[in-house]
Structure 1
Amino acid sequence: MKLLIITAVKECSKSVEKILKEASVSVFSVTDTMGVKNSPDDYILDDWFGSDDGNKYDSVFIFSFCKDEAANQALSLIDAFNAKASENEFPIRAFIVPVENSTK
């Protein structure tokens, strides 16, 4: 089992839901959140919210505990989505975290 974590600007919510359906991720949680970019530091995540000059973003935080294959498929589909997006659009970010143990 994996924990799939996705962040995106709110406008991309429907695209993320479509991606998750295509990846066979049938159960997930969504919460509204505010993304904040405080500094222009030269940091690996400095383009977290794309190339926009603003500093606060209505975003969503999506997570799902799912099978390895589904999580990997979702990541591949998100990479493909981001590759097609224009430079002005905000990228969808995703991470896969291993789940070592859980309750039954």
Structure 2
Amino acid sequence: MKLLLITAVAEFENEVKQILKKAQVKTFSYREVTGYRNTSEDAIESNWFGTEMNENESILFYAFVENDKVDDVFNGIDEFNAKQETLSHIHSAIINIEKSN
């Protein structure tokens, strides 16, 4: 079993849910979070917002996932990200679970 973490901008909520559904991940949790991006190292000309810290409405999904479903989730995310014309993508990570009840 693995702990799956997925972050994305709030606009991608339905797409993440569809990816999980297609991968047959039937139980998950999610919550709204505020994402931050420090743009202090970006050139001023490329910084649209004119400040060093940008906040985004984001979402965080987390689920305990069977090992055989992990690749399906990652493949779905890769397919979605490949089609994006924006800089924003869905990000994911897996954490191994040594023991759980």
Shorter chain as denominator, the TM-score bin is 0.7 to 0.9
Percent of residue pairs bearing the same amino acid type = 36
Query: For residue 64 of structure 1, what is the aligned residue in structure 2?
Result: 63
Please name the residue that 1:73 is paired with.
72
Does the alignment pair 1:13 with 2:13? yes
How many corresponding residue pairs? 94
CA shift in 2, pair 1:41/1:100, >3 Å: farther
Structure 2, unpaired ranges of 5+: none
The structure that has the greater radius of gyration is: 2
Pair 62,52 (structure 1): closer, same or farther in 2 beyond 3 Å: farther
* Aligned position for 1:95: 93
Q: What is the CA-CA distance between 1:99 and the residue it aligns to?
A: 0.5
Q: Which string of whole-angstrom CA distances, capped at 9 and with x for unpartnered residues, describes residues 39-76 of structure 1?
A: 4459xxxxxxxx98451100000000010121221011
Compute the TM-score of the two structures, normalised by the length of structure 2.
0.84
Opposite residue 91 of structure 2, the aligned amino acid is R
More strand by share: 2
**CA contact 2:39–2:47 (8 Å) conserved in 1:** no
Q: TM-score, normalised by structure 1?
A: 0.82
State the Cα RMSD in Å. 2.0
